[in-house]
Amino acid sequence: MKQGFRFSLSVTVVVLAICYIYLTTIFIYIDRWFGLMTSPGIMNAVVFTGVAAMCVFNYTVAVFMDPGKVPSTYMPDIEDSDNPVHEIKRKGGDLRYCQKCTRYKPPRAHHCRVCKRCVLRMDHHCIWINNCVGHANYKVFFIFVVYAVIACIYALVLLVGSLAIDSEEDEQESGSSLRTAYVISGLLLVPLSVALSVLLGWHIYLVLQNKTTIEYHEGVRAMWLAEKGGNVYSHPYDLGAYENLVTVLGPNIFTWVCPTSSHIGSGLRFRTAYDYSAVALPST
């Protein structure tokens, strides 16, 4: 867990939005469409509550979980034959060293200006969780986005369905407060559904490529430089789509949507395409 937690306006906004969407979906949209005491109403309320609960749980873990810090004793072993990748600085060719943290950086680690420390397999700093997304909490963050997309689209369908069956008489009886709830929910759910769907699509792409957001941008530059020199760039941590999924989500497909993390390792060394190339070479 992270050390200390300070008030965050962005996290407060997210929590309030989740509470508002949940309460209006259960007590307005489901109630007006099906009735909470009917079988369809109870079923939809239970399913939506389950999705919302998983969304809140994963969000809470993503906020409070330490994304992964570099051990103070870490020292790269350049003579380790089992580790074919030693990331170096772009200029000078030296091993990556953080001047601010005064320690070496493991592969895929980067310094976060906001957190003021190096983060293992850093993806990005997310203001909406007031935390870095890194080695230890990347899967939890990814699963949160999955459940958030499902919850938003589900709530939007229930909102539209409850609007479609409202009679003119019901609309007159509902008053301005109910109309305001519909307007606010629409203004929240439509952009959230679009934005979160785009974010989910982006991270699905990253997972299938076994890249972080930082590595994607670094890879664009590396690919340009490689093409300029007549070479072909390949991401060293790309093991193939399925192996990449297993690396991030775990070996058991039934736990892919659960916030388990026993498979992630220390974050100081990662399997690479070179490992598989070495295995594939015939012995002489």
Give the residue numbers annotated as catalytic, written as ranges: 126
All residues at 6 or more sequence positions from 174 whose CB lies less than 8 Å from its CB, including other chains:
166
Tell me the C-alpha to C-alpha distance, in Å, between residue 111 and each of 101, 122, 211, 230.
8, 8, 17, 32
Q: Which of 132, 143, 128 is nearest to 259 (CA)?
A: 143
220 alpha carbon, distance to own chain's centre: 21
The set of residues, in sequence order, having a beta carbon less than 8 Å from that of 57 and lying 6+ positions away, is 259
Per-residue tokens: 156: 């939007």
Residue 144 buriedness (CB in 10 A; 0-12 / 13-18 / 19+): buried
DSSP H helices, the chain, are 9-24, 31-33, 39-64, 138-164, 168-209, 213-228, 241-249, 273-280
Task: Give me the DSSP letters along 140-160.
Answer: HHHHHHHHHHHHHHHHHHHHH
Question: Could you count the other beta carbons within 10 Å of the beta carbon of residue 267?
Answer: 21
* Distance from C-alpha of 102 to C-alpha of 97, rounded to nearest angstrom: 7
